Structure 1
Amino acid sequence: MAEEENESNQRQSEEIEAMAAIYGEEWCVIDENAKIFCIRVTDFMDDPKWTLCLQVMLPSEYPGTAPPVYQLNAPWLKGHERAELSNSLEEIYVQNIGECILYQWVEKIRDALIQKSQRTEPDDTEVKNKTEEEEVEFEDEPILDNPPENPVKTLDLKISETPPETEELPPVAHGVPITDRRSTFQAHVAPVVCPEQVKLVLSKLYENKKIASATHNIYAYRIFCEDKQTFLQDCEDDGETAAGGRLLHLMEILNVKNVLVVVSRWYGGILLGPDRFKHINNCARNILVEKNFTNTPDEPPKTSGGKKKVKKDKKKNEH
């Protein structure tokens, strides 16, 4: 029981960090100890017509056997629209029991707001006069006896191996560095369609003396196998304990595929604590968005409910 609780806490922490990295200022911590969060969702980023605040509380059993408790807060949301949106969120939960679903919920709400914006124009008078916010809590949902397993495979990669010469080296892009208290983080990204290309990119990056001298080179990749409809994915901490798994979790939530992300960290002598994970994820998210890897998926994100394989070397903890 304690092991299951620890796993739930770990998965919740990874999801919270990923959501904060994805949504930035739209993501708000209401009560960190009680795990209550709020996210502002709009139809469009620049000039939103419709806005809704999703408030969630993560119970200790989430994501294993219980859904988030949620409230949909918007002065205009009522009646049929509220019921329809609530049903959509609950359907996502039932179809993904045991999985982290906050990203899917937010994007489902955004899709609904976009559709509403395309159908109608907001009534300013109604929005101003209607100040009372309605609240709906999550009702008990049936738990499936045999939730579907997500087809995910992992593969061991050793950077020291000689890369194959038959595969073509994909183009490698480098992100804008982030510096905090003398530590610098920089992300690198490349499209990959097979493990051989992953090895090629890693070898190419290590030819750069600056990258090779980084204290840590954390990486994760996801490759979609069309024939088997499965993901081949793996990650590497390179001594930054748990960083690889968190990076892979971010990529799962963003539902990116056929991509390798490497985040280099040059340690500056000052411990950053949990902030280092925030910088790693922000670096990765920024370059994935910049290079349009987040615009390709046509399906809802699928995440692995099982434990991810994380390869580590002799370096441990933060330094």
Structure 2
Amino acid sequence: MSNLAVVAYAADDLRVEDAGTPVPAADEAVVRIAYGGICGSDLHYLRHGAAGASILREPMILGHEVSGVVVVEAADGTGPAAGTPVAVHPLTPHGDGVTPWPADRPNLAPASSYLGSALHLPHTQGAFAQRVAIPGRMLHEVPASLDLRVAALAEPAAVAWHGLARAGDVRDRSVAVIGAGPIGQLVASVARRAGASVVTVTDLHEKPRRIAEARGIRSLDARDADAISALHADVVVESSGTEPGLSAAVSAAARGGTVVLLGLQRAGDVAVPMSTAITRELTLTGSFRFAAEFDDVIAALADGSLDVSGIVSEVRPAADALAAFALAADPASSCKVLLDFAAD
């Protein structure tokens, strides 16, 4: 039986090929993957052969936003039983023996591995395959009532959840989100669930703004600098990962407000309007991945309190991964694109 997988070899070299039968270690279960969400890091590997400092040096199966069903449980008894629907928490925290990090924040461990990451060699293979061996500790049970397409959003939703939590309690506070791609849309959803008084997203493209409006979220054209500076938002989440987005985030923040730096900026120095941040006494806080929020996110997706309607814009068969990646790379045409690993 073939095991179709999506493998990155180098920049502009993405292949759909047979990964062979997974051979699990004692602490690994075999999961039949149902859906996988194409993430920005996956797109970076395709476009550039790297995602930040993680450079492709060998073929690597992509993917870390996945849901599926356990078909063979871990031999050592860890993790869910066969037949359990699951979402995957892709982090394995590791220290480097030198750099200190807070033990209660595993997302900050300096030498961690992540499914579908080329940071280490050998690379940490991802989960974009029909069947994958995954450590049982990464597998989180999802209720049978939760559609596995929605469960595939658990990982990016946890990123959004963690990012907004970095600003503290947002109940009855105004929230602006710079960049209305999948993460930005999810941040807006989390903010609404958390009781924000007003939620506004900005984006350069019409489609994500239309998606937000259809979800009952106010949107602004990112080129409308006057409208953005007039927001005076208590909390601003920068999710575009661009220098103009960072400047807009500072501009949109109210005096005494908080700006969460969620979008990953390029390496090296980045221009920031620091005089504005200083004179407004803004709090600038970083956000990276997520920690213990995963089960809370799954529960909120399952009970519907975290509304993610409209965020998945396309579901494509995994066999058509190249076309799906091209679609996901065009923010004017798509939001979150899922690969369907059960499709013929």
Quickly name the TM-score band, shorter chain normalised: under 0.3
User: Larger C-alpha radius of gyration, 1 or 2?
Assistant: 1
